[in-house]
Copies of this chain bind each other. A is one copy, B any other.
C-alpha cells in the first residue's frame, strides 16, 4: 500500500479539519462503466468526504485518443495504454477494473500480487475456474492487508440497503418466497445487430451473466442466505443477427434469456428471470420477498422507492395494513445524509459513489469490503449451476456452499459509510441550509 498518499496515513474522524490521506486510483476501461466509476470516485470525495481521499491518478485504455478524451472530461491526471504499466505505477494504490469479463482474472490477480487494492466490475469472471483463481489471489493478498471487492453496485441503491436493514432486523419473520426479475428489452427486435455481448468467448454468458448475476447477488445479499440449488431453462430466441458492418450475419452463442427456480438455505422458494426480450421494460430489476411477518418489494425503474408490508400484530393494525411506499430520501436512510433534502431523488450513478465511499472506508479502517471475491465466486457457481441444469433437462442442481466469510453474513453495512458519517453529515447539512 505504498501508494497511499503522503499527507496522513491515519484513518481520520472526518469533518472539515480532519487530516486526510489520499490514495491514487488507476482505472482500466473508459466506456459505460468507466464513466460510471469516474462519477463514483469524484462524487464519493465531494459528498462523503472520506478520510481516505481518492485521487484520479491514471486512466488505462488501449485507444490512447479515446482514453485521453475521457480523461480530459473527468479530470483523470494521466493516461496509460498498457494495463501492466498502470498497475506497476508507484502512485497507484487501487486498481479499478472496468473492462469486459474475459480480462478480469489476469488483471485482478496481477494487481493483487502487486499489492494494489482492487475493485473489479461484475461478473467477477467468465468462468468458475477464473473466479476461483481470483478468490484465491484475493485471500492471499488479504493476508498482506490488500483489499478486494467486486462491483455489484446495486447493493448500494439506498432502497436496497434499507431493505437489507429491515430484513436483518427480522421484520419479515420466516422467509418464504423470493421472486426476482431483471428485465430489459434491447434485443426484442431481431434486427438489432450482433455485438460482443452476444459472443460467448468474450461475454461468458448472455442475459444470465450480464444481468442475472445482479439478481442472484441482490437476493443473496437481501436475505443474508445462499442459494442451495437451482432448476433452469434458457433459450436463445434469435440465433442469427446482422453484423454491424452489414456484411452478413453472426451467430449468437449466448443465452437470450434464463429462467430458474431456486431454494435458499432457510427453505424459501425462489423464482428468477433474466431477459433482454421484455418489451417495454428498460432496466426493471424487480425483487419481492415474502416472509411470515412481512414483505418487501422493489423495482429499479422506480429506484428511490421501497414497498414494505408490515404484518406484525405488535406494530400494525389490520384495518390500515398495506404496502407502504417509502420514498427512500430521508437523512436517516442508508447513504442519504450527504445528499439532498427529502424528496429530491437520486439516480443510477449514485450507487457508484456509495460503492467508492464504502471501499475507501474499508481500506482506511482495515476491514473487509463486501461483496468479496469469494462472494463473486459463489455467484459464478450459481450461474454455472443454472447453465448446467438447463443443459440437463432442468434437473435440480446443487450449488456448493460458499466459504464462510471472514466477514460473516449476518452483519450488513459493516462498511456502510453512510451510517458512520450520518450524524456528522446531518449536522453539517443543517448548518449549511441555515447559512
Q: Which of B39, B61, B261, B279 meets A292, CB within 8 Å? A: B279
A292 touching B196, Cβ below 8 Å? no
A311 touching B261, Cβ below 8 Å? no
A59 CB to closest chain B CB, in angstroms?
13
Q: Which of B73, B257, B320 meets A326, CB within 8 Å? A: B320
Answer whether A261 and B349 are a contact pair too, CB < 8 Å, given A184-B343, A279-B295, A283-B341. no
A136-144, A392-400, A404-412: which lies at the B interface?
Answer: A392-400
A189 within 8 A of B: yes
Q: Which of B49, B261, B281, B393 meets A260, CB within 8 Å? A: B261
A257 touching B345, Cβ below 8 Å? no
Q: Chain A 40-59 against B: per-residue CB contact (8 Å), 1 yes, 0 no?
A: 00100111010000000000
A432 within 8 A of B: yes
A171 to B22, CA, bound (A): 52
A278 to B318, CA, bound (A): 16
Q: Chain A 295-308 against B: per-residue CB contact (8 Å), 1 yes, 0 no?
A: 10000111110001
A214-222, A229-237, A365-373: which lies at the B interface?
Answer: A229-237
**How many residues in A have their beta carbons less than 8 Å from beta carbons of B?**
117
A291 touching B279, Cβ below 8 Å? yes
A301 CB to closest chain B CB, in angstroms?
6
A265 within 8 A of B: no
Q: Chain A 232-248 against B: per-residue CB contact (8 Å), 1 yes, 0 no?
A: 11010100000010000
B179 touching A267, Cβ below 8 Å? no
Answer whether A323 and B280 are a contact pair too, CB < 8 Å, given A343-B300, A347-B350. yes
Q: Which of B46, B196, B259 meets A261, CB within 8 Å? A: B259
A293 within 8 A of B: yes
A324 touching B327, Cβ below 8 Å? no
A321 within 8 A of B: yes
A97 CB to closest chain B CB, in angstroms?
15
A165 to B317, CA, bound (A): 14
A290 touching B271, Cβ below 8 Å? no
B434 touching A195, Cβ below 8 Å? yes
Across the interface, which residues of B come within 8 angstroms of A174, CB to CB? 237
**What are 7 A-B residue pairs whose CB atoms fall within 8 Å in the complex?**
A162-B319, A176-B257, A195-B434, A279-B290, A279-B293, A279-B311, A323-B324
